C-alpha cells in the first residue's frame, strides 16, 4: 500500500484545525524552511490619537461604526453574507465569520461621501463610563470636527475634554491617517491592505503574500488595523469592509459571545490575544450584532490616578451621528 495514501486516510480522532491555527503553522513552517533570522519589526508611525489611547483615555474618542450609514443603493458584493434568519451558534462562531459578516453588512449599508478638502467631518460619540470599584456611572458626549485634507486645525474631544489639534508638519506622518486623500489611497482589498501596512523597503522585500508575514509582524498589523477601525469614524467607500476582513485574517483575533454594548444589547465581541507575547494590543472589544453583524460599539478600559488613588473604568461607546460641515464647530 502507498504509505502516503495510508497516512492521508488516517483518522486521529481530533477535530480539524481552524483557519487561524493552520495559518500560524504555515507561517512558522515557511520561516523554518528559509532559516530566517529574527524578523525586524518596523517602527510605528507617530500616532497622535493612539498616543492618547496608550495613556488609557480613549475608548471611542474617534470611533467608527456603520450604524448611521443608510443604504443608498450601492453595489452589494457577494462576500461573506451574514445569515438572514437566525443568529449563529455563539459557542462556535469564529472571529473571521463575524468580521466577514460585518464587512458584508457594511458593503450593503455604507453611504458614499465625497467631502471637499476645505470641509470638516463632524462626529458625535456617546461614552458611558462605569467606575469598577464604586459602580458610579458617567456619560460623556464627545463632538469632533476633523479637517478633511488635514491642513487646518481640528477640534477633538475625549471623555468630555476638548482641544485644538494642529495639522501635521511637513515630513510628518501619523497613523491612522485622518485626511481623506490619504485614506482614499489605502487598498480596499483586504490582503493588499494588510501588505500595505508593512511598509517594507529594500531589495529583500517579501510583501507579495500573507504567508510570508512573520509572527513578529502580525501584532503590528493588528495594531494598525484596530487603530484604523477605531479612530477613523468615516471612510471612503470599501475601506471599512476591507479592514474588517483584514482584521479577521490576523492570528490571535477571537470572538467572545455575550458582550453588552452601551445600550444594553447583547452582542458578540472581537478582541485580540497577541500570540507572540509582545503585548502589542489595541482596540479593546469591537461588539457586533449576533444576527446581522452590524457594528454596535466598543468596550474598553482606562485608568486614572496612581497608587491608592488609581481608578479603573469600563467604557462602552458608540457613534451617535456624523456629517460633513463647512466650518469647524458648526453643527449639522
pLDDT tens-digit series, residues 123-164 = 999 999 999 999 999 999 999 999 999 999 999 999 999 999
Q: Poorest-confidence range of 17-21, 74-78, 93-97, 179-183?
A: 74-78
| Weakest mean pLDDT among 54-63, 109-118, 128-137, 190-199 | 54-63
**Residues in the chain, overall count:** 332
Helical pair 239-248 and 95-109, crossing angle rounded to 10 deg: 170
User: Cβ atoms within 10 A of the Cβ of 241, count?
Assistant: 26
Q: Give strand pairing partners of 272.
A: 253
Q: Residues 219-237: pLDDT tens digits?
A: 999 999 999 999 999 999 9
Residue 12 has pLDDT above 50, yes or no: no
- Rounded distance, CA 138 to CA 65, Å? 22
Q: Whole-angstrom Cα distance, residue 293 to residue 84?
A: 10
Confidence at 64, pLDDT banded by 50, 70, 90: very low
Is the pLDDT score of 115 beyond 70?
A: yes
Q: Is the predicted pLDDT of residue 31 greater than 50, yes or no?
A: no
pLDDT confidence of residue 280: 58
Q: What is the pTM of this model?
A: 0.72
Q: What are phi and psi of 158, to 5 degrees?
A: -140, 125
Amino acid at each position: 500500500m502507498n504509505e502516503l495514501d495510508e497516512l492521508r486516510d488516517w483518522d486521529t480522532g481530533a477535530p480539524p484545525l481552524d483557519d487561524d491555527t493552520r495559518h500560524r503553522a504555515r507561517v512558522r513552517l515557511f520561516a523554518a524552511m528559509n532559516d530566517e533570522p529574527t524578523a525586524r519589526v518596523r517602527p510605528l508611525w507617530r500616532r497622535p490619537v493612539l498616543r492618547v489611547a496608550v495613556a488609557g483615555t480613549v475608548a471611542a474618542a474617534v470611533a467608527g461604526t456603520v450604524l448611521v450609514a443608510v443604504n443608498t443603493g450601492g453595489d452589494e458584493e457577494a462576500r461573506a453574507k451574514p445569515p438572514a434568519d437566525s443568529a449563529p451558534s455563539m459557542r462556535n462562531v469564529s472571529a473571521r465569520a463575524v468580521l466577514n459578516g460585518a464587512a458584508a453588512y457594511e458593503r450593503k449599508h455604507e453611504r458614499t461621501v465625497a467631502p471637499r478638502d476645505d470641509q470638516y467631518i463632524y462626529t458625535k460619540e456617546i461614552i458611558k463610563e462605569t467606575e469598577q470599584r464604586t459602580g458610579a456611572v458617567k456619560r460623556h458626549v464627545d463632538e469632533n470636527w476633523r479637517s478633511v485634507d488635514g491642513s487646518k486645525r481640528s477640534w477633538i474631544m475625549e471623555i468630555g475634554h476638548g482641544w485644538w489639534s494642529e495639522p501635521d508638519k511637513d515630513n510628518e506622518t501619523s497613523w491612522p491617517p485622518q485626511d481623506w486623500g490619504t485614506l482614499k489611497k489605502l487598498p480596499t482589498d483586504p490582503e493588499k491592505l494588510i501588505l500595505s501596512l508593512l511598509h517594507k523597503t529594500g531589495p529583500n522585500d517579501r510583501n507579495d503574500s500573507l504567508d510570508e508575514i512573520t509572527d513578529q509582524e502580525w501584532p503590528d498589523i493588528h495594531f494598525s488595523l484596530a487603530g484604523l477601525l477605531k479612530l477613523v469614524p468615516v471612510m471612503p467607500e470599501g475601506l471599512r469592509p476591507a479592514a474588517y476582513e483584514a482584521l479577521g485574517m490576523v492570528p490571535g483575533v477571537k470572538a467572545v459571545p455575550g458582550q453588552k454594548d452601551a445600550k444594553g444589547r447583547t452582542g458578540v465581541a472581537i478582541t485580540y490575544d497577541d500570540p507572540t507575547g509582545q503585548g502589542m494590543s489595541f482596540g479593546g472589544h469591537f461588539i457586533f450584532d449576533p444576527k446581522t453583524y452590524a457594528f454596535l460599539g466598543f468596550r474598553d478600559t482606562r485608568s486614572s490616578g496612581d497608587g491608592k488613588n488609581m481608578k479603573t473604568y469600563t467604557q462602552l461607546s458608540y457613534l451617535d451621528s456624523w456629517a460633513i460641515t463647512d466650518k469647524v464647530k458648526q453643527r449639522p
